[in-house]
Structure 1
Amino acid sequence: MRALLDVVLLALQLYTWLLIAAAILSWLVAFNVVNTRNGVVAAIGDFLYRITEPLLRPIRNVMPNLGGIDLSPVVLLLIIFLIERVIVLYLYPNVF
């Protein structure tokens, strides 16, 4: 069972890094640092969008409109950190 919890924690950490990469790429595209007409950048952007958008969309629907500021990745990161702490502090010590 601990191996399963380790896999879940690893997946959460990987998703955290993908979420951070998606946020940084969106900033780079918004400030015209990278060009989305480049095939590699477009493929990476599309992959990150498809991976992160299913979890970010419900958060965006619930949150109020703040203009150009999107805080949904921060909220999702806080939720992921909460899940990780619950696993580490409460589930992991009680599993044999």
Structure 2
Amino acid sequence: MMSLFQILMLILDVVWFFIIAHVIMSWLINFQVLNLRQQFVAQVWYGLNRILEPMYAPVRRVLPQVNGIDLAPLAVLLGVYALRIILVNNIAAFY
């Protein structure tokens, strides 16, 4: 059962990395450091959007709209971190 715990933690780490990469990339695109007309940048951007949009969409429906600020990534990051805390505090259930 310890391997199940480690797999769940790995999945949460990968999701965390994807969200951070998506946020940083969105900033770089908005500040025109990255250009979506470059094929590699566009592929990475659209890939991250396709992976993360199913997690963001339900959160966006619940959160109020703030002028020009998307709070969905922050809410999902907090959710991922909360899941990590829950898993670590209940590690005894995996033995």
TM-superposed deviation, 1:2: 1.1
TM-score of the superposed pair, with normalisation by structure 2: 0.95
RMSD in angstroms over aligned alpha carbons? 0.8
Q: Which residue of 1 aligns with 2:39?
A: 39
TM-superposed deviation, 1:11: 0.6
Matched, 1:23 2:23: yes
Q: Which residue of 2 aligns with 1:51?
A: 51
Q: Which residue of 2 aligns with 1:95?
A: 94
Q: Which runs of 4+ in 1 moved over 4 A?
A: none
Q: 1:28-49 CA distances to partner (integer Å, 9 max, x unpaired)?
A: 1111111100000001001111
Q: Which residue of 2 aligns with 1:12?
A: 12
Instruction: Name stretches of at least 5 consecutive residues in structure 2 with no aligned partner.
Output: none
TM-score of the superposed pair, with normalisation by structure 1: 0.94
TM-superposed deviation, 1:5: 1.2
SS at match of 1:85: helix
Instruction: Name stretches of at least 5 consecutive residues in structure 1 with no aligned partner.
Output: none
In 2, Cα distance between the equivalents of 1:72 and 1:48? 14
In 1, Cα distance between the equivalents of 2:10 and 2:80? 12
**Identity in percent:** 35
SS at match of 1:94: helix
In 1, Cα distance between the equivalents of 2:22 and 2:6? 24
Q: Which residue of 2 aligns with 1:72?
A: 72
